């Protein structure tokens, strides 16, 4: 990975480009399938020039800061996005949990030319402030663990999800009642996308 202290905001891309497609993926915890679902959706919409950004409170061995993945063969989540077809992939590591300003500070300074698709892995509910007028926006919550094991940050953002993606056999009856009326996509165990999810995402973003 290479460090990128001044990456640039995708909304400041090439003058005259069409609306940015912003896909925000939150999740119930590790191994819920956030990255797998994100990669599957990147593959499903290859006409967009995707940039992937993983926001995490953990440093993942890189130290705190913003790092760009350059190795498409890396088994890290950032490498998986590149292999899925993303043009660039970053990790913003060491962000204090519950402090979206940390991420928004560097997102507001980045310059990613010719970007028209941005996928963000984060549970931070206020990240939608990066979406400008006229831009396309979809928030998914990927749920694959018992409700009692959900991160606090997910509880703070799941109400804003446009749809829920249930993985690993997660049963809908285990969802809190307030979430059972949301659009729900069930994934067969071991699979991370369905035709219905792909069509739904395309209808919102492409």
Q: How many domains does the chain have?
A: 1
Domain that holds residue 82: 2-205
pLDDT greater than 60 at residue 154: yes
Q: What is the CATH classification number for the domain harbouring 89?
A: 3.40.50
Alpha helices in the chain (DSSP H): 34-44, 77-84, 100-107, 152-155, 195-205
pTM score of the predicted model = 0.83
Q: Which two tokens stand for residue 71?
A: 């190795």
What average pLDDT does the chain have?
80
Q: What are 99-117's pLDDT values in tens digits? A: 555 655 665 555 555 678 9
């Amino acid at each position: 990975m290479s460090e990128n202290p001044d990456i640039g905001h995708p909304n400041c891309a090439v003058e005259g480009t069409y609306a940015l497609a912003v896909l925000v993926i939150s999740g119930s915890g590790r191994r819920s399938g956030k990255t797998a679902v994100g990669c599957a959706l990147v593959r499903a919409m290859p006409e967009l020039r995707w940039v992937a950004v993983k926001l995490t409170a953990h440093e993942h061995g890189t130290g705190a800061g913003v790092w760009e993945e350059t190795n498409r063969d890396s088994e890290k989540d950032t490498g998986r996005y590149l292999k899925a077809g993303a043009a660039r992939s970053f990790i913003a590591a060491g962000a204090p949990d519950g402090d979206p300003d940390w991420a928004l500070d560097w997102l507001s300074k980045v310059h990613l030319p010719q970007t028209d698709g941005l996928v963000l892995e984060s549970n931070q509910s206020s990240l939608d402030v990066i979406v400008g007028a006229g831009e396309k926006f979809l928030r998914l919550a990927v749920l694959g663990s018992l409700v009692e094991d959900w991160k606090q940050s997910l509880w703070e953002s799941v109400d804003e999800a446009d749809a829920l993606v249930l993985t690993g056999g997660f049963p809908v009856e285990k969802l809190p009642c307030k979430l059972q009326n949301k659009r729900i996509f069930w994934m067969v165990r071991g699979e991370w996308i369905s035709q219905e999810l792909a069509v739904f995402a395309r209808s919102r973003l492409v």
